[in-house]
Structures are given as C-alpha cells and as structure tokens.
Structure 1
Amino acid sequence: MLQTILTSVLGPMLWGTSYVNFTELLPVDHPFFVGAIRALAGGLILLAINPRMPRPAVMARYAVLGTLNMALFFALLFVAAARMPGGLAATLGAVQPLVVIALSSLLIRRMPHPVQLAAGVAGVIGVGLLVLSPSEHKPDLIGVLAAIGGTCSMAVGTVLIDHWGRDGKPLEMATWQLILGGAILLPVAWIKEGLPPVPDGPALAGYAWLILLGTAFAYYVWNRGITRLGPSGAYLALASPVVATLIGTIWMSEIFSIWQWIGIVLVLGAIIAGVSVKRRAPVDPNPVPTAAAGKA
C-alpha cells in the first residue's frame, strides 16, 4: 500500500511543476498550443501502452469528456499560469472537488454532507483571500477567470463521468480524453495563436518534461494508483498545489501576503474535509412508496 501511495503521488507532484515549466521554458503567448500538444502527444504515448479502440458510443462520450477535462482545462490552465503566480493558479484550480460537490447536488441530486457544505464555504472564503488580499503578486482578472473557468470545466466533466458511469478502465479513459481533447484544441490554437516560434534547446526540454513526465507518466501512475487506492486516493491530488506553491516561493521568489497564505491553507483544508466524508446517495425525485408506508 505504501509503495502504491508513493508511486501515485508522483502524478500530482509532476502536475505541480507544469506552471514553472510553462512560464520559464515554453512560449507563454501560445497557451492553447501548449495545451493541445501536451494533451495530444501525452495521449498518443499512453495509447502505445494500451492500444485499445473503444466502441463508437463510448468514443462519443470520451470526446465530450476530452473537451471538458483536457481541451478547455489545459487551455485555461496555461492562460492562468501565464498571468498569475503558479502557487495561486494551482490552488485556485484545487477547488475543483468542491465545485464537483456543488454540481452533483444540482445535476444528479446527490445532496452534500453538512461537512461538505461547511468545506464549500471555507473554500470560497479561502479563494476570496487568495484573489482579493493586497499583495505584490495580486493576480489579474483574466488569470483568475481562466483558473476558475478551467476548474469548472473539469468539474462538469467529472460529474458527467459520475453520471454516465465508467465506460472503460481509468487508463483507457485518460488516453482517449487526452487524444480527443488535444485534437479538438489544436485547430483552435492554430486559428487563434498561429504557430509558435521554433523551439530552442530549453523549450525542447520543457516540452519533453511536460509531455513525457508531466502528462503521459503522471496520468499513468495516477490512474493506476486510483484503481488500487479507491476514493481515498483523491487526497493525493493536493500534492499539485503544494508543489507549485513551494516552487514559486523558493525558486521564483513569489512573495505572498499573510492573508494569501491563510487563503491557501483554508482552500487545502476545505478540500481535505470535503472529500473525507462519504457522499450521500442521489435523491430520487419520484420515490416509490414502500409497503410499510402504504399501511401507515
């Protein structure tokens, strides 16, 4: 079990390096292109590991999920990374489980636990402190909206997976979401941004790290670990904002205010509390009376 945890946490830790990798080595004025290449190339590598073609009906669902979880999410993630410190962008993105809890109650009538409601309030307060507190590195509005938009997009995709049920194994789902998401985003990037500059040595190293380690390897170990650890493995995703914040603070000299640090702690604490309690079963809008109820 310990070996599985240590292996699985490598995925979120590598995701946490994406922010500094993008801003320091890759073309920050081409966030859509970087997101498209990351998704498409990473998915093709995973396909080499698991070369299985899903049924057409399942592929259609993967296209929807790939648009939400990969194309929109990666594009908006890199827009946010280009405009705000990596630690803040990653922490804003980490509120995704809280958004999933809220959307589940609205879309599939899975009512949240009172602890999850309290965690949601704490998370909103934490995000407010991150965004509104006076600081040398106060993020701009577009960066904040991009981070929140990407979070909401992936949250909708997560709820759809919960609603539709898993059509295939986690690795297969990740593979085809990446491939289809990248294929959908690539022409958008071409039209909106054009071709990026020819990559030099550092850029090639940045792409190699992002595609091989930050996407293909990270998604492989993450999905492999989640199948063994179950829902409790969701806690490991917190390693991503932690790593991004540490890199930003130590390497990039990103100075946060005390209120922003409190916001980071509130958000991470809210996520731990929110995902630690068991979700309630969906509410049936048309319950069938039981025999005992009929006799009452």
Structure 2
Amino acid sequence: MNSQRIATTSALTALAPAVWGSTYLITTEFLPPDRPLLASTVRALPAGLILLLITRTLPRGIWWWRALVLGVLNIGAFFYLLFVAAYHLPGGVAALVMSVQPMIVLLFGSLLLKDKVRPVHIGACLLAAVGVAMLVLQPHAGLDGVGVMAGLLGALSMASGIVLTKKWGRPEGIGLLTFTGWQLTVGGLVLLPITLIGEDLPDHLTWSNIGGFLYLSVIGALIAYVLWFRGLSRLPALAASFLSFASPVCAAVLGYLFLDQSLRPLQLLGAAAVVGAVVLAQPRGSRKPGGAPPARTVRRA
C-alpha cells in the first residue's frame, strides 16, 4: 500500500473515533440520565440487526465463539464501560483515562501479533498521553473513582478487541458489513438482559432522547464501526489504535463549540502533540501495513 492510500485509509478510519468523541456530549445533553446500560444496548443492537437483515449471513464453525468474544470486547463491554465513564466523568477526563488504550495495544501486539516495539512507538505513546493531558485536564476537572476504573477497563476491552481482530482477521468470503453486524448484534444481545434486569426503563422519552439514541445507533455504531473495522483490516493494530486519539480531540472541540468550554493555548498545543503522535505511529513506505495478511479461517458447518 503506497503512502497516499495509507493516508486515505487512516483519515477514513479516524472518522470513527472522531464520532465516538461526540458520545460524551450526546450522553450528557440528550440521553436520559443514569442509563449507561440502556444507552449501550440501544446503540449496538438495532445497528447490528439492520446489518444482519441486509447481509443475511450468520457465523459458522469456530466463528460462533470468535464473534462472541469480539462482540463482547469491541461492543458489549466497551460500550457499557464507555457510558459509565461518560456519566461519571467530564468528557475530556474520560477521554484522557481511555487514552491508555494504544499503550495496551503496544504490549498485547508484541505478545500476540509478534509486532516489533520500536522506539518511535514508545515515543508516540508518551507524546500522545502528554498531549491529551494538556488538551483536557483543567483545574476544575472532576475525578470520580468509578468513572476512572470504567475508563481503564474500557480501554483494556477495546485494546484486546483490536489485537484479536487483527490476529483472527475475517473468515474467508465474509464481507465487512457482515463482520460488523455480527459484533454489534452479539454486543447488543449480551447487554439486553443485563439492561432489563439492572436498569429501570425511562417513564417517557423526549424527542431529544430519541434523536440522541438514533445518532448513537446509526452514526455512532453502524457507520462508525464499518469504517473502524475496514481500517483495522488494512492498518497495523498500533497505527489504528492511535487513531482513537481523534476521540478526545473531537470531545474538546465539541465542548468548546456547544458547552462554552474554553480552548487555551496550552490545549491547542496539546492537540498539536496528539496529531503529531498519530502521524508518528502511522506506517510508512510501500510495504503492506501489518506485515503478512491475517490467516484465513476455513469455515466449517
């Protein structure tokens, strides 16, 4: 893949975490309060079922349990932990806590994918962490133990999902929409009974609530995850994980535009550092990103 195609793939993939960065704003301003399970389920399940209805293809053989694992890590557990963090922490602080994800990918990638850890990767991780801290930490930033723990566990869940998605690839003959639909449906189905047992449903929904749920399901899940899994299939795991830093940048920009939050020179410098770290982590040259393509799985009945 040449440099221009790498840049295009990276830019399209970065749209997904940029959309996810709006989750904090949508959650606090449009959704019913204190409903992380409901928000997670409504975000995942309708989008997954729509894709399954379009593709009409179910997993086979080993891919039943692989789809379950990926659906829980990439969707079910991650969505729930993300919304818990969003409800308990300011958007920027939640994004900062979850910015440890590329560092986890760096470790897991070296262990499971045999990716070589280069000094530039370590430097990019440190630069990104410092940049995010400069971007989102304010004197009045609130820290909540539950939110911080949820953010860390969410980062661990997503990092594990990224690495296993790269390790397993997609089954032969299965398209991107099908692969995305499996995971969104699994994640939603895992969350559904927990939601019904663990949370009271709202007495009523406003049009703002409905609009927020529709945005999260259609834009934040269906479209964003198709772009994300497309990028994961074409970029190295670490390069893709660094694109998730578009999330705190987007959260900060939306806070400035819609929540009357300020953007001081230090924050702008932090955003520049984050962008620099993302650029450092992207692959170079004409070599196919990620080395050899993922091994294809023979589908069995």
1:248 alignment counterpart: 255
In the alignment, the residues of structure 2 paired with residue 84 and residue 260 of structure 1 have an alpha-carbon distance, to the nearest angstrom, of 19
Quickly say closer, same or farther: Cα 1:136–1:49, change in 2 above 3 A: same
Distance apart, 1:163 and its partner CA: 2.3
Q: CA RMSD in A?
A: 3.3
Give structure 2 stretches of 5+ with no counterpart.
293-301
Residues paired across the two proteins, number:
279
How far does the alpha carbon of each residue in 1:105-159 deviate from its partner, in whole angstroms, 9 at most, with x for none? 234443311211222333444566678x561123323222222211111101111
In the alignment, the residues of structure 1 paired with residue 40 and residue 135 of structure 2 have an alpha-carbon distance, to the nearest angstrom, of 25
Quickly say closer, same or farther: Cα 1:280–1:171, change in 2 above 3 A: closer
| Contact 1:83-1:140 at 8 Å conserved across structures | yes
Give yes or no for the alignment of 1:57 onto 2:97: no
| Contact 2:245-2:274 at 8 Å conserved across structures | no
Give yes or no for the alignment of 1:173 onto 2:184: no
Identical counterparts, % of pairs: 37
- The higher radius of gyration belongs to 1
| Contact 1:135-1:256 at 8 Å conserved across structures | no
1:87 alignment counterpart: 92
2:46 alignment counterpart: 41
| Contact 1:16-1:241 at 8 Å conserved across structures | yes
In the alignment, the residues of structure 1 paired with residue 14 and residue 68 of structure 2 have an alpha-carbon distance, to the nearest angstrom, of 27
Letter in 2 for 1:254: Q
1:214 alignment counterpart: 220
Structure-1-length-normalised TM-score: 0.79
The partner residue of 1:24 within 24, 29, 40 is 29
Give yes or no for the alignment of 1:136 onto 2:102: no
Q: How does 1:64-213 map to 2 (within 5 A)?
A: 64-126=69-131, 135-167=139-171, 168-213=174-219
The partner residue of 1:273 within 267, 280, 287 is 280
SS at match of 2:126: helix
Quickly say closer, same or farther: Cα 1:261–1:81, change in 2 above 3 A: farther
Quickly say closer, same or farther: Cα 1:91–1:267, change in 2 above 3 A: farther
Structure-2-length-normalised TM-score: 0.78
Letter in 1 for 2:61: P
SS at match of 1:39: helix
| Contact 2:243-2:278 at 8 Å conserved across structures | no
In the alignment, the residues of structure 2 paired with residue 180 and residue 99 of structure 1 have an alpha-carbon distance, to the nearest angstrom, of 24
Letter in 2 for 1:186: L
| Contact 1:137-1:254 at 8 Å conserved across structures | no
In the alignment, the residues of structure 1 paired with residue 60 and residue 192 of structure 2 have an alpha-carbon distance, to the nearest angstrom, of 24
Give structure 1 stretches of 5+ with no counterpart.
283-296
In the alignment, the residues of structure 2 paired with residue 265 and residue 248 of structure 1 have an alpha-carbon distance, to the nearest angstrom, of 17
Distance apart, 1:22 and its partner CA: 1.2
Quickly say closer, same or farther: Cα 1:130–1:31, change in 2 above 3 A: same
SS at match of 1:56: coil
